[in-house]
Amino acid sequence: MDKQMLKSTVQGNAGETHQQAQGDTPNLTTTTGIVVADNQNQLSAGTRGPVLIEDHIYRDKLAHFDRERIPERVVHARGYGAHGYFEAYEDLSAVTMAAPFQAKGKKTPVFMRISTVAGSKGSADLARDVRGFSIKFYTDAGNWDIVGNNIPVFFIQDAMKFPDLVHSVKPEPDSEFPQAQSAHDNFWDFVSLTPEATHMLMWIMSDRTIPRSLRFIEGFGVHTFRLVNSKGEGKFVKFHFKPKAGLQSVVWNEAVKINGADPDFHRRDMWETLNKGDTIEWEMGMQIFDDAFAEQFDFDVLDPTKLIPEEQCPVKIVGRLVLDRPMENAFAEAELVAVCPQNIIPGIDFSNDPLLQGRTFSYHDTQLYRLGTPNFNQFEINAPKCPMHNLMQDGFAARAGHQPKGRVNYEPNSWGGPRENPKVGFHSYAEPLEGTKTRIRPESFADHYSQARQFFISQTETEQTHIINAFVFELSKVKRADIRERVISRLLHVDKDLAKTIATKLGMDKLPDPAPAAVKPKDLKASDALSILKNGPDSFKGRKLGVLVTDGTDAKVFNALKNAAEAAGASVAVIAPKIGGVNLSDGKHLPADEKVGGGPSVLFDAVAVLPAKAEADKLKDDSATKDFVADAFAHCKFIAYVADTMPIFEAVSIDKALDAACHEIKADGDAKAFIKECGKLRFWDREPKVSKV
């Protein structure tokens, strides 16, 4: 044996055991706590001999590595999370005994997970997709999970169809593509044969499915639930979460480019926001209504493809949801968290929504398979923070602190231990029921087009254009003409001009006949709450300004913009020709956050282009710089510039197209005015002039 190896082997950790080897640096150990002497080499018979099976350190390390991946979720595989709390604005004990709402100012710890739906865990953040919006409330009365989406309705009315929906949108089984995309034959074939999906199609073809940030999305419980008070009285409720920073999305061309530039764009944004000490907040609201309202409402409140317009039943703001702490380990938190719609507490109960009823089984069953044990609620991220006593025992991954104590593992018994408590325990709402066993969809679920039409007419002209373009893009990927025709035949019930425009852009010679409609659509009033642009922010707070600088950039102009942006609550990223940074006009060195090719303008809400004259003459021929400027202009962003920027503008042919959203910065006041204008986020008047679709 090599003498040095022999020396290393016999010395081991003599005299150190678990004492720190060097200062405050902790010792590396095995999973059983044994301190590791050599983490670089296997134990072998000689320096060139075979490795030895007795190397328990190697086997411990590799056995764990081989099992690092648990099965990913079938849907919502790509998720991200954060910790925080819910704070009640008032006492709601008159309508619900649910623990979070029993006193004004009461705080309940929460963990939130936001996810895409269709893509695998390794897919990109900005796929056109619904976003799961799930919250685990660690209440005094046990865990309560709201498992919702950023869209208030869904594709289907009955959980029986959920596997078919998901199979259709997932990669086609013969080719195993496309990944995280609905733009293929299987999906559009399914939804074109499923009229109840029409309303949801309008939402997913809107910009709701390409959000700028997870901080700027709305959340919905989707289903109708029950609130139950201490007297056993119940009312219906729909849950809403409205972002305090306002709604915001990107445009499709940006989404495509962001996925290439930074596929972790949403994750990074949430991580950076929380790590710099900012919070992410929503206001929680409820639409509360009684059975009499439900009976008189135009649609069935148990139909998950329908919503209740806020104009007909206002959203009562009841508290705020605050995320203030990032995850410490994404696997142990976002991946192991098991959110289940079946997790409710006293004061909350289910309605008879057939999709909700099916989900209460499906989610729990999924977690049992995915996490491999019925003990998943013993994992730290899932464990209740209130006292917990039960008689469930053993099984894979059982934690000692969650096992029965002593001899008692059954009930009733003669030895003591936990007992049922009718006074404070969970009681289901006493809803009278009668009926015959059946598999028939209720007639009250049959109007599939009225609310789809309402959604479309509630959008601004800009948003309607984006919806049309999204349909055209998606259907252009569909190979079978009859599928495209079926989609158009359903859109004719939504809006004839919408259907005709899409058909024309697809090159269809004539319109198909309208699809049969079980119920004639109604003309409903527009609802401003359904529009993103009508519910955007009024400031630049929480947004990001990308500033392109060079050697010799005017230090006063740069500092004025930086100070104005930060005063407004925005952040500034420095983009430079080289990652090493630049020297400003005052001689001070400015480090760069991104090299221009690695920090394209699609990553920012607004941009400033501040080159020195000599450097502008060089950059005008640089493709990455030209893309930076051209994309910002094409995506209708506010642009700050200096006189020396003009050669770059000329290189991308926008020098004569500069508009009211392009601000020349000469003084400190110009910078402040520019940042104030950036609060509008986009200059949509430019879009018709630059659109290629």
**CA distance linking residue 674 with residue 662, whole number of Å:** 9
pTM given for the model: 0.93
pLDDT bin (cut points 50, 70, 90) of residue 22 is low
Catalytic positions = 76, 149
- Alpha carbon distance 245, 282 (integer Å): 8
Whether residue 194 has pLDDT greater than 50? yes
- Angstrom distance (rounded) from CA 493 to CA 198: 10
Say yes or no to pLDDT of 7 above 80: no
Picking from 618, 619, 558, the residue whose alpha carbon sits closest to that of residue 589 is 558
- Residues in the chain, overall count: 693
* Sole residue written with tokens 């289910």: 350
Measured on CA atoms in the order 320, 325, 326, 331, is the torsion positive or negative? Answer: negative
Residue 169: inside a domain? no
Give the pLDDT score at 23: 64
**What is the pLDDT at residue 11?**
37
Residues 135 and 266 in one domain: yes
Per-residue confidence band for 692, with pLDDT thresholds at 50, 70 and 90: low
Q: What burial letters (b/e) apply to 11-32, b meaning 16+ CB within 10 Å? A: eeeeeeeeeeeeeeeebeeeee
Q: Phi first, then psi: what are they for 142, rounded to 5°?
A: 115, 180
Rounded distance between C-alpha atoms, residue 465 and residue 239, angstroms: 30
Q: Let me know: does 218 contact 534? Beta carbons within 8 Å.
A: no
**DSSP letter, residue 104:** T
Express the helix, strand and coil content of the chain in percent, nearest 5 each. 35, 15, 50
| Three-class secondary structure of residue 85 per DSSP | strand
> In percent, how much of the chain has pLDDT > 70?
96
Q: Which domain holds residue 491?
A: 455-533
Chain centre to alpha carbon of residue 263: 14
Give the residue among 616, 672, 613 at the shortest CA–CA distance from 640: 672
What is the pLDDT at residue 644? 97
CA-closest candidate to residue 484, choices 499, 498, 466, 463: 499
pLDDT in tens, 493-524: 999 999 999 999 999 999 999 999 999 999 99
pLDDT tens digits, one per residue of 626-636: 999 999 999 99
One-character DSSP codes across 477-507: T---HHHHHHHHHHHTTT-HHHHHHHHHHTT
Closest listed residue to residue 229, CA positions, set 425, 424, 96, 100: 96
User: Could you tell me if residue 405 is inside a domain?
Assistant: no
* Tens of pLDDT, residues 267-326: 999 999 999 999 999 999 999 999 999 999 999 999 999 999 999 999 999 999 999 999
CATH for 223: 2.40.180.10
> Could you read off the pLDDT of 453-474 as tens digits, one per residue?
999 999 999 999 999 999 999 9
pLDDT mean across residues, the chain: 94
> How confident is the model over 255-271, as pLDDT tens digits?
999 999 999 999 999 99
List beta partners, residue 236. Answer: 226, 289
The confidence band for 49, taking pLDDT boundaries of 50, 70 and 90, is: confident
Residue 361, pLDDT score: 92
Inside any domain, residue 570: yes
Q: Tell me the CATH number at 9.
A: 4.10.91.20
108 and 48 in a common domain: no
Which amino acid, 194? Answer: T
Band of residue 98 on the pLDDT scale cut at 50, 70, 90: very high
Q: Are residues 288 and 356 in the same domain?
A: yes
pLDDT digits (tens, 9 = 90+) for 379-420: 999 999 998 888 889 999 988 888 888 898 888 999 988 888
Query: What secondary structure does DSSP assign to 29-63, as a single string?
Result: B-TTSPBPS-SS---BSSTTSPBPTT-HHHHHHHH
Q: What is the per-residue pLDDT for 8?
A: 37
Q: Read off the CATH number of the domain in which 597 is found.
A: 3.40.50.880
200 membership: H or E segment, kind and range? helix 198-204
271 and 381: one domain? yes
CB 239 within 8 A of CB 148: yes
- The pair of structure tokens assigned to 94 is 């008159």
* pLDDT exceeds cutoff 60 at 247: yes
Q: Based on the structure, what is the number of domains in the chain?
A: 4
Residues 282 and 340 in one domain: yes
Q: Is residue 420 part of a domain?
A: no
Residue located via tokens 């096992």: 403
Alpha helices, H only, 276-372: 291-296, 330, 354-371
* 90 DSSP 8-state letter: S
381 lies in the same domain as 255: yes
Contact 595, 578 (CB under 8 A): yes
Choose one of 331, 351, 386: the last residue of a domain: 386
229 with 521: CB under 8 angstroms? no
Same domain (yes/no): 490, 628: no
Whether residues 517 and 547 fall in one domain:
no
Domain-embedded: residue 213: yes
- Please indicate, yes or no, if residue 416 is contained in any of the structural domains: no
Please check whether residues 137 and 285 belong to one and the same domain.
Answer: yes
Strand partners, 350: 225
Measured in whole angstroms, the distance separating CA 246 from the mean position of its chain's CA atoms is 15
Q: What is the pLDDT of residues 100-142, one digit of tens each?
A: 999 999 999 999 999 999 999 999 999 999 999 999 999 999 9
Quick check: helix, strand or coil at residue 589? strand
H or E stretch at 226: strand 225-228
**Peptide bond between residue 178 and the one before it cis (omega within 30 degrees of 0):** yes
Q: Are residues 529 and 544 in the same domain?
A: no
Q: What is the CATH number of the domain that holds 480?
A: 1.20.1370.20
Surface-to-core class of residue 112, CB atoms within 10 Å of its CB (0-12 exposed, 13-18 middle, 19+ buried): buried
Report the C-alpha gap between 294 and 301 in whole angstroms.
6
- Under the banding of pLDDT at 50, 70 and 90, the label for residue 5 is very low
Beta-bridge partner residues of 144: 137
Task: Indicate whether 572 belongs to any domain.
Answer: yes
Q: How far is CA 256 from CA 181, 250, 266, 545, 602, in A?
A: 12, 10, 14, 20, 10
Q: Same structural domain for residues 332 and 468?
A: no
Residues 521 and 554 in one domain: no
Q: Does 193 map to a domain?
A: no
Q: Which of 369-373, 485-489, 546-550 has the lowest mean pLDDT?
A: 369-373
Strand-by-strand arrangement of the 606-610 sheet = 594-595, 571-576, 544-549, 606-610, 639-641, 662-664
Last residue of a domain, one of 533, 553, 578: 533
Contacts of 57 (CB under 8 A, 6+ apart): 30, 34, 36, 38, 43
Q: Residue 227: is its pLDDT beyond 80?
A: yes
**DSSP-assigned beta bridge partners for residue 29:** 35
CA distance 648 to 653: 9
Q: Residue 33 has what pLDDT?
A: 86
Contact 249, 532 (CB under 8 A): yes
The tokens for 42 are: 């296997």
- Report the range of poorest mean pLDDT among 362-371, 493-502, 638-647: 362-371
Q: What angle do CA 311, 317, 322 make, to 5 degrees?
A: 135
Separation of CA 145 from chain center: 16
Domain boundary residue among 17, 42, 68?
A: 68
